[in-house]
Amino acid sequence: MKDDKKGFFKSIIEDNPVFVLCLGLCPTLAVTFNLENAYTMGLSVLFVVLITNIIVSLISKYVDEEIRIPAYIIIIASSVTILELLLGKYLPAISKSLGIYLPLIVVNCIVLGRALSYASSHNVINSIKDAFKAGIGFTLALSLLGLIREVLGSNQITIMDNISPLTGYIMKYTIFFKNELIPNPLFLSPAGAFITLGFLIAFINVLRNRGEAK
């Protein structure tokens, strides 16, 4: 059991969709200007990957090879539509904040990639585990990027604001730096997203290389 847990968390780092595989970079760069946006986008992708993997695992043996990709895209699009309706009904502020990148989950490489490469050839339990690996890895990557960008760009950490109608709480904290260079609006811009992501990828690669050397 302990080895399974170690393997699960190890795979989140070593096969991270953002830092290692460089997948799903459009929402990664576009919506991570604060922590709340980052983790809600990550959880949205996790929801879609989970639903898609379960359905694909159940029906894959009945789907012909010629129509496999169109069939899976229809499943993904249906899952995203359900997600949009739920967010629009209960969390309209989050739906508006994520904007066009919410429906664009349909073409996110992570979702179709896991359906094609894993769920279509594995049972439901393993497909659920795979969905959590990919979804949690994506969520953690976006959350880390969003946290760094928001702190350096605005001296704030937004944990709950747009989701407050659901939780009943607003959690926004101000960070005080003595350095005059912080906050720097650069980190809230697209250029800041690229710079921060580049440094994080480099840092993760250093850790992975050290681990392989050991």
Tokens of 37: 């946006």
What is the domain partition of the chain in residue ranges? 17-213
Regions of the chain short of the pLDDT cut 70: 1-8, 180-181, 211, 214
Give the per-residue pLDDT at 210.
79
Give the per-residue pLDDT at 183.
85
Give the per-residue pLDDT at 15.
85
Predicted TM-score of the model (pTM): 0.91
Give the per-residue pLDDT at 130.
94
Give the per-residue pLDDT at 7.
62
Give the per-residue pLDDT at 176.
77
Give the per-residue pLDDT at 6.
52
- Rounded Cα distance between 159 and 37, Å, is 9
Give the per-residue pLDDT at 5.
58
